[in-house]
């Protein structure tokens, strides 16, 4: 069954990125799709772009689309009744936004950097899932990976020292960067931090002063080099991983 958007349903967008040329093709929800599947997805998709600081979705409000992050970084936040806001997650390239079967956003999603999404209207996407087992199977795989990452994050926030938290965060970014290139992380790695140090502090449960102090300490110990406001070079990934308390797969070292 071919499911596609009516032209009237398709919102204004930029020129679409072809599935064949998509930088997240082998990590996204469409990773297991075959040629015929991609043709149907190609017919139904549309791109949306957001500038840094722009809200993509508000918690509790209707969300009529699902999407994969093609480029950029977005934050997931929750707001308490007294107005306090907590960042509870980050969306990086290839991550999936939205929940099939649920038409309300669970979190407020905000573009941290300029963001490009590959979007599908929720109802047509759910119809595609019903007729193509490869899409829900891949989505389940991604959901389980996300659950593992959430458990890892609980360990990080609850048990790790400030130095280990910073090292873990950098190692996670390095692993994701390598995965998009279909490589294993190793040696020296160039990164662009997706967050300001203030946002890192919020995300890691630290103070701004502590983040700055620990970044300086890692630089002093020749584990990282700092380049400008956001540029970081991991001098040796394996040495940084040892500082994080994790093994090479991201699990805790006993």
- The confidence score (pLDDT) of residue 37 equals 82
Phi/psi for 170 (5° steps) reads -65, -40
Say which range, 2-6, 85-89, 202-206, has the weakest mean pLDDT: 2-6
pLDDT confidence band for 246 (50 / 70 / 90): low
Neighbours of 54 (CB within 10 A): 12
pLDDT confidence band for 248 (50 / 70 / 90): low
Residues 158-205: tens digit of each pLDDT: 888 999 999 999 998 998 888 877 778 888 899 999 889 998 998 898
Q: 């090479």: which residue's tokens?
A: 248
The arrangement of strands across the sheet holding 46-50 comes to 46-50, 115-121, 65-71, 96-97
- The confidence score (pLDDT) of residue 142 equals 92
The rounded mean pLDDT for the chain is 85
- Token digits for 136? 């829900």
Residues 30-76: tens digit of each pLDDT: 988 888 888 888 888 999 999 999 999 999 999 999 999 999 999 99
Query: What CA–CA distance (Å, rounded) separates 62 from 77?
Result: 16
What pTM, to 2 d.p., does this model score? 0.80
Domains and CATH numbers, the chain: 7-142 (2.60.120.10), 160-244 (1.10.10.10)
User: Which residues 6+ apart lie within 8 Å of 234 measured at CB?
Assistant: 170, 171, 174, 188, 189, 191, 223, 224, 240
Q: Is the pLDDT of residue 2 over 50?
A: no
């Amino acid at each position: 069954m071919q499911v596609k958007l009516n032209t009237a349903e398709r919102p204004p967008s930029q020129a679409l990125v072809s599935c064949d040329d998509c930088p997240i093709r082998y990590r996204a929800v469409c990773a297991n799709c075959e040629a015929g599947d991609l043709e149907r997805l190609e017919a139904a998709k549309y791109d949306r772009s957001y500038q840094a600081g722009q809200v993509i979705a508000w918690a509790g409000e209707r969300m009529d689309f699902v999407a994969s992050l093609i480029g950029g970084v977005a934050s997931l936040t929750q707001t308490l009744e007294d107005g306090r806001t907590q960042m509870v997650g980050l969306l990086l390239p290839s991550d999936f936004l939205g929940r099939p079967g649920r038409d309300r956003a669970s979190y407020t999603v905000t573009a941290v950097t300029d963001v490009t999404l590959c979007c599908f209207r929720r109802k047509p996407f759910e119809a595609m899932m019903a007729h193509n087992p490869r899409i829900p199977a891949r989505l389940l795989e991604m959901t389980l990976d996300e659950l593992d990452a959430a458990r890892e994050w609980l360990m990080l926030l609850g048990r790790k020292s400030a130095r280990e938290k910073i090292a873990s965060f950098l190692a996670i970014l390095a692993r994701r960067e390598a995965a998009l290139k279909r490589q294993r992380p190793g040696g020296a790695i160039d990164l662009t931090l997706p967050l300001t140090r203030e946002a890192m502090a919020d995300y890691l449960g630290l103070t701004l002063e502590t983040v700055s102090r620990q970044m300086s300490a890692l630089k002093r110990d020749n584990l990282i080099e700092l380049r400008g406001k956001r540029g970081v070079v991991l001098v040796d990934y394996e040495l940084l991983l040892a500082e994080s308390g994790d093994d090479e797969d991201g699990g805790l070292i006993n």
